Structure 1
Amino acid sequence: MENSPDTPPSEVGADVKESGSAPFTVNPRQDISTSKWVIICIALYSGALLYGIDTTVAADVQGQVYEALGHIENLQWVGLGFPMASTATILFFTRGYGLFNAKCLVMSCFFVFEIGSALCGAAPTSNALIVGRVIAGVGGAGMYLGALTYVSTFTTAAEAPLYNALIGLSWGIGSILGPVVGGLLSGSSATWRWAFYINLPCAALFLPAYIFVFPSINPRPDLTIKEKLARIDWLGAILNAATYVIFIVVVCFSGSVYAWGSGQSIALWVVFGTCLIAFILQQAFAIFTTTENRIFPVHFLKSRSLVLLFVVTGSGSAAFSITLYYIPLFFQFTKGDSALGAAVRLLPFICIFIFFVMAAGATLPIIGRYNLYYLVGGSLILIGASLLHTIDTTTPSGRIYGYEILVAAGSGLVWQIGYAVAVAKASPKDSSKALGFINLAQIGTTSLSLAIAGSLFQNLGFHELKRAFASYSYPDDYLRSALAGRISPVFSSNDETAIRIAVVAIAETIRKMFAPAMAGAALLTASALLMRFEKLHLGITAAG
């Protein structure tokens, strides 16, 4: 079949199902020159890199943001606003890429991402900065799903794992570099504002590629714009977004802002529970939508393979993100590292992660037995996270490097292969839904796990500090602010004894943060054992 611009993504590069006919291959890029494809890939991978950077860039600009804008109670939202918005809109964009022209949609998301970045850089207040982070998060989610859509459309089943690995690798490297970029820029004459403004010149660089090089992909040329809009499950999209947003809000507020048993905390949990139940019922009974158009692919829940793929992808993402976030934090508190110094200590993690992401993507079409990747990867993460759960202020740095290498190797094996496997396991017409399903597991779980870990860090850290400073007269606000680092009066004082007590207490808190990573790794490993021991023939492709 000729690959025209209007060919639906679900019909290009689809995995051949078992049949009596002989399989054959087509070139899904037969109408795209090699030079154009290279430019498209560079733009897609760069977009994923920027998305990854913005996911974590706020980690090391909070001190400067507080000094410039005040309102310490808003600091956590500078970091959480971006991934929260991304998670809340993943399913919406998944449906969008299954209906609308992918080129128009990815360009629109690119502009939204840049608008949010510009607002962040120019923010006059902390509230404006949070709004900008939310807007950028929406655009970033659409950019990332757009990259996955283009790869799914214009690669064969044998190529898809490697191209998907490169997208995931770009995001992973960006998320690792985010705190470094934020720290370097916020500590320079450019100030923290350029940690967000930096996206604007990147936009100028890649915009011509989006406009003039990217091919159009219209998955449903038979429908008008009005008919496409009518096929979106708007109620489901609203309930889905509300469920994620309220859950993150209630997790972050409970204990740190509102007492766990307070009326405000209970009310938030009730609202979350109501939204969750409403979303489940609306999707189950297709209320104000149809079974075909509902925003969540409910029929995927009948597939053991797809459910397990969701679980292993989410579990691996949770373990990876927690380790990635709290290892540098540990070194910054215990060794006094700057953002750059902490990033240098992550080099073993980065290099090993890159190697295993690429190795998994390159070898999956050859080996085919995807369950082995999850079993080996989960075991490595479990061992590494368990060892990280034993560290304290006296643990030699070399041992910590070794522990994080184990987590990096396991994370690399499982990070991105779920996309290729899910597309192969789903029916061809559900390819775009399969991409969104796994993206929800990967990026969604990253956001949720960091929110939960952040709540644990704030609550457990406060109790550790409260116990450690029992003989001091520090108010609770001082102790809570110590968890934010150098902006706290505890660390800005000249009391070396108090600083040492705080470092030991916070190091103990960070050690406990690897317990959720252990739990995620254990769930990953157990789920891998439940997977079918089958071999996917990803090298066999056919025309749609």
Structure 2
Amino acid sequence: MPATTQDQSDVAVGEKRIESRGLTATEEAPEANEATDEETTAYLDGWALWSLTVALTSSAFMLSLDNTILATAIPRITSDFNSLNDIGWYASAYRITQMALLPTCGRIFTLYDVKWSYTILLLVFEIGSVICAIAQNSVTLIVGRAVSGIGAAGSMGGAAIIVSYCLPLVKRPVLMGFISLVYGIGSILGPLVGGVFTDNATLTWRFCFWINLPFGAIALAQIWYTLRKPPPAVKAGLPPREKIRQLDLPGATVLIASVVCLMLALQWGGIVYPWSDAKVYGCFIGFGLLLTLFVWIQIKDQNSCTVPLHLFRNRTVCASTGFMLFLQLAVAVQAYYWPIYFQSVKDTSARDSGIYMFPFAISSTVCTLACGWIVSKVGYYVPFMWIGTPILAVGVALFQFLDLHSHASRWVGYQIITGIGFGVCGQVPIVAVQAVSSKENTPTVVVLVLFFESLGGALATSIAQNVFTDSLLRGLGKINGVDGAAVVEAGVKDFRRLIPSQLLDQVVRVFGDAMRNVFWSALASLVVALLISIAMEWRKLSDVIQEGDAGVESA
């Protein structure tokens, strides 16, 4: 029989406090641990809290660095492996596994030991990094990125869950804000660090992956020191077979397969094969059938499904996930195609292209922190979607005015505009879904937003690669004396050695035109995102917080 609220309060009074670690741990039965009341949660303080902070910030810095460090290294990788057609897979392989396994990894932390779960998933990320670092061909690199994506899903979800286990509600925003700050710093430094490694003949781009190992080691050591007696998992008492069933591995597998079919179709269509080719439309059909199967699996067993479909009955959840999907479609283009512009059109080094990305990275990070503080003060968050998205769209549209001879003041200004726009609206969906969800559904809806964010990033790289390569081949085909296929195979950096000097300016202009088409697709996705945001429910965050607090007090 479920415990009553009074029973849970009695359990809280009887908790055993371990003062030497600053940790409050409960020794009650699994039924008591399944309650979501904070009185039954283990809390850290003092040195244990500082140790946890070091662990999670080290992991966050590693993940953020890994997310952006390849942006300036990819042009060199495509030249080393003759793999310009694989640009999309270097990012999307990572995002596919990360996105599809986010809900599954979230369940792992509710079913199994927190410390061991986090350790194993972080080790998986490190193994993926090693595979990438020693890769001798493009396929091995893509496999390594997919393995890293699995570990990244666990590290992202695990950090939020560990914080909820080990800190009271009032302290969580402080630690999460600090983690976000470190994440932003890593994102800013990523392109620069990647450029420095790539241009160094001794380190090369492979050190972009080796650098993950020391940060992962710090995180693992601190987690083991801090969580010597970790809080029990919420559903630790379930039988082993039931735990495996609730992971919904069939659903996650089908979801990965469906997204892979979609991206194969988007990358092959019009480039490798005609759109009418059976391999292309066969992938589209496979995507549709697998997606239908995935939805059927979710409906069939709603207690252990990967994506609880009933949550989408709330229009804010629908609008937030849709908004994040299309927003990320545009933002991923910024991250991957600005460095390509600098290195192919402006003929900069990988290091310099990373430095040239600072305006976007700094402006977006500063505005994210500033807008988070403003939202917490004014309470209203929906207007920031309506302000930030148009600003971001203006910055994306301004890319059309860049060419080979554009002055630095233009591309710096354009990046600042896009960074401000993204910083203003980028975190609103996560705030919005928490404001309209019950306490027990909050972790799930947050994971759903992250899920669609990863999906948008995965689709963006595939769609953008298709648009870019198709436009590039069409433009090169109009220049006599230029082998378009050879230019594409040579990669972003090395194509110049294949082009006669009298034709080089024409080829560079074709590269610029191809990237303009990519940015037009990003602009279209932002228009869709803005239209979706209209469906958001108008809420004031302070009212929601007061209602939640009142609910806790009345209980």
Partner residue of 1:325?
336
Aligned 8 A contact 2:72 2:354 in 1:
no
Instruction: Provide the C-alpha distance between the structure 2 equivalents of 1:505 and 1:139, rounded to a whole number of angstroms.
Output: 39
Distance 1:313 1:282 in 2: 25
Among residues 24, 31, 51, which one is paired with 2:63 in the alignment? Answer: 51
- The answer as to whether partners of 2:129 and 2:144 remain within 8 angstroms in 1 is yes
Contact preservation (8 Å) 2:59, 2:215: no
Match of 2:205 in 1: 192
- CA shift at 1:311, angstroms? 1.8
| Shift, 1:164, TM fit | 4.5
Equivalent residue, structure 1, for 2:192: 180
Decide which of 100, 123, 135 is 2:147's aligned counterpart. 135
Deviation at 1:202, TM superposition (A): 2.0
Structure 1 pair 460–494 and aligned structure 2 pair: CA distance change class (3 A): closer
Equivalent residue letter for 1:308: A
1:316-355 aligned at under 5 Å gives the runs: 316-355=327-366
Choose which of 36, 40, 51 in structure 2 pairs with 1:11.
36
Match of 1:205 in 2: 218
Deviation at 1:271, TM superposition (A): 1.6
CA deviation after TM superposition for structure 1 residue 159, in Å: 5.7
Q: CA RMSD in A?
A: 2.9
More displaced stretch, 131-140 vs 230-239: 230-239
Task: Decide whether the 8 Å contact of 2:111 with 2:233 is kept in 1.
Answer: yes
**Map of 2:372 onto structure 1:** 361
CA offset digits 1:176-225 (Å, max 9, x no partner): 54343333223221223222111122222222112121443512234233
Q: Which residue of 1 aligns with 2:15?
A: none
Could you tell me which residue of structure 2 aligns to residue 247 of structure 1? 262
> What is the 5 A alignment of 1:312-461?
312-461=323-472
By how many angstroms is 1:534 displaced? Answer: 1.7
Partner of 2:249: 234
Which residue matches 1:23? none
| Residues matched between the structures, number | 521
Gap change, CA 1:520 and 1:76, over 3 Å in 2: closer
Q: 1:235 to 1:164 in 2, by over 3 A?
A: same
Output one character per residue of 1:522-541: Cα deviation in whole Å (capped at 9) or x when no partner: 23322333322221226544
* Residue in 2 that maps onto 1:22: none
In the alignment, the residues of structure 2 paired with residue 168 and residue 10 of structure 1 have an alpha-carbon distance, to the nearest angstrom, of: 28
Mapped contact 2:343–2:493 kept (Cα < 8 A): no
Q: TM-score, normalised by structure 1?
A: 0.87
Tell me, in whole angstroms, the C-alpha distance in 1 between the residues paired with 2:425 and 2:40.
28
Aligned to 2:489: 481
1:296-332 deviation digits (Å, cap 9, x = unpaired):
1201110011111112222322222212222222222
Matched to 2:36, the amino acid is E
Q: How far, CA to CA, are the matches of 2:266 and 2:178 in structure 1?
A: 33
Contact 2:72 2:339 survives alignment (8 Å): no
Name the structure 1 match of 2:475: 464
Matched, 1:260 2:272: no
Three-state SS of the structure 1 residue aligned to 2:44 is coil
Question: Do residues 80 (structure 1) and 97 (structure 2) align?
Answer: no
Identity of aligned residues (%): 23
Which segment drifts farther, 209-218 or 167-176? Answer: 167-176
Q: Contact 1:161–1:365 (CA<8 Å) still a contact in 2?
A: no
Q: Distance in 1 between matches of 2:448 and 2:427?
A: 13
Q: Per the alignment, in what secondary structure is the counterpart of residue 541 of structure 2? A: coil
Superposed CA offset, 1:486-533 (max 9, x none):
222xx0147223221111111111122222322232233223333222
Residues 107-150 of structure 1: CA distance to partner in whole angstroms, max 9, x if unpaired? 11101001111122223444333222211111112111112223
2:5 alignment counterpart? none
Q: Give unmatched runs, 5+ long, in structure 1.
A: 14-25
RCO higher in structure (CA 8 A, sep ≥6): 1
Structure 1 pair 342–407 and aligned structure 2 pair: CA distance change class (3 A): same
Distance 1:158 1:370, change over 3 A: farther
TM-score (norm 2): 0.85
Q: Please state how far the C-alpha of 1:86 moved relative to its aligned partner.
A: 1.5
What is the DSSP-based 3-state SS (H/G/I as helix, E as strand, rest coil) of the residue aligned with 1:530?
A: coil
Q: Hey, what's the Cα distance between the residues in 1 that align with 2:78 and 2:388? A: 39
Preserved contact between residue 374 and residue 524 of structure 1 (Cα < 8 Å):
no
* Paired position in structure 2 for 1:531: 536
Distance 1:334 1:216 in 2: 54
What amino acid sits opposite 1:478 in the alignment?
A
Out of 277, 282, 294, the residue aligned to residue 297 of structure 2 is 282
Q: Which amino acid is the alignment partner of residue 494 of structure 2?
A: I
Structure 1 residue 437: Cα displacement: 0.4
Paired residue secondary structure (1:426): coil
Kindly provide the CA deviation profile for residues 381-411 of structure 1, in whole angstroms up to 9, marking residues without a partner as x.
1222222234333443212222221211121
Aligned to 1:17: none
Mapped to 2, the partners of 1:75 and 1:304 lie a distance apart of 35
Structure 2 counterpart of 1:497: 502
Give the stretch that moved more between structures: 157-166 or 502-511: 157-166
Alignment of 1:101-120 (within 5 A): 101-120=113-132
On the 8 A contact 1:254/1:265 being kept in 2, the answer is: yes
Q: Does structure 2 conserve the Cα–Cα contact (< 8 Å) formed by 1:158 and 1:539? A: no
1:64-104 alpha-carbon deviations (Å, 9 max, x no partner): 54666566655653443222321232232233334333332
Quickly say closer, same or farther: Cα 1:316–1:124, change in 2 above 3 A.
Answer: closer
Contact 2:195 2:350 in 1 (8 A): yes
CA offset at residue 165 of structure 1? 5.0
Asked if residue 508 in structure 1 is aligned to residue 533 in structure 2, the reply is: no
* Shift, 1:431, TM fit: 2.4
